[in-house]
Structure 1
Amino acid sequence: MKAAVLFCHSDEQALNEVAEKELSRQYKLLSQYANEHGFELEHLFFHIGQLDYEHPDDVLLRFLRGLQNSRSNIVIAETRDYFPESQMRFIPPIHACFLKEHIQQMKIGSRQHPLPAEKKTLSGKPYLYNKEKNR
């Protein structure tokens, strides 16, 4: 079974009812796709706010580091819009499935820039679920 990382995102600036509903909708859609295509879920990331890969917040930084250290190099996301061309140089090389665009596997990312140095303290925002820790 192939391992995959799910990436759910909401543009809301804070966790609220709208963001929760959007993240839940995406999770259902992405996990259904993963199950139908034989993917094992390795990690699941819930991100809210601005997607700035050059200056990532804690959750986005964990997502990017997770991609580098993952046994999976496949990300499943609803739309390619979450990975804009202007930010590709800050995203590690991966394969992605984008449901909205009906793209089953597309190479994205680059080795151009290393990830930012480790932050001393992370916020501990609860938007990250790691299957490995919940066994």
Structure 2
Amino acid sequence: MKAAVLFCHSDEQELNKVVGKELGRQYAQLCQYANEHNFELEQVFFHVGQLDYEHPDDVLLRFLRGLQSSRSRIVIAETRDYFPESQMRFIPPTQACFLREHIQQMKVGSRQHPLPAEKRNLSGKPYLYSKEKTR
């Protein structure tokens, strides 16, 4: 079996019921695809907020580090939009499957920039990032 990492994402800035439902929908769809194509799930990441690979939040940084150390370096995501061309230089080289575009495997990322090392201690939220409301 090939190992894969699932990446579910919502652009919304706050986690709420609608976002939770959307992430759940994506997760179900990606899991179904993984099962149909004999992928073993290595990790699953749920990301909420802006996708800024140059200055990643905790979850995005964990995701990128996971890709870098993954056994298979295959990520399954709903759409290629989650990996914009302008950000490719900040993403480790990997293979990706994009369901919406019917792309079964495509190379993404580059070795141009190393992962940021400034964040050594990550938050206790291992796979879900949500900005805290300031009072």
Once the two structures are superposed, the pairs formed by residues 101-116 of structure 1 within 5 Å of their partners are 101-116=101-116
Structure 2 counterpart SS, 1:40: strand
SS in 2 for 1:20: helix
Q: Give, in angstroms, the shift of residue 102 of structure 1.
A: 0.2
TM-score (norm 2): 0.91
- Provide the C-alpha distance between the structure 1 equivalents of 2:40 and 2:90, rounded to a whole number of angstroms: 26
Which residue of structure 1 aligns with residue 13 of structure 2?
A: 13
Identity among equivalent positions (%) equals 84
Find the aligned partners of 1:86 and 1:52 in 2 and give their Cα distance.
10
Aligned length: 128
The two structures, once aligned, show a CA RMSD in angstroms of 1.0
- Residue 118 of structure 1: CA displacement? 4.5
Deviation at 1:35, TM superposition (A): 0.1
Find the counterpart in structure 1 of residue 37 from structure 2: 37
Partner residue of 1:132?
A: none
1:3-41 superposed Cα distances (whole Å, 9 cap, x missing partner) = 000000011111111110010000000000000000000
**Cα offsets for 1:26-60 (capped at 9, x unmatched):** 00000000000000000000000000000000000
CA deviation after TM superposition for structure 1 residue 120, in Å: 3.7
Which residue is 2:80 aligned to?
Answer: 80
2:104 alignment partner AA: Q
Q: Which residue of 2 aligns with 1:4?
A: 4
1:92 and 1:26 mapped to 2: Cα distance? 23
Q: Report the AA paired with residue 123 of structure 1.
A: S
**Paired AA for residue 83 in structure 2:** F
Structure 1 residue 76 displacement after superposition: 0.2
Aligned twin of 1:133: none
**TM, length-normalised to structure 1:** 0.91
Whole-Å separation in 2 of the counterparts to 1:14 and 1:91: 24
Structure 1: runs of 5+ lacking an equivalent: 129-135
Where do 5+ consecutive residues of structure 2 fail to align?
A: 129-135
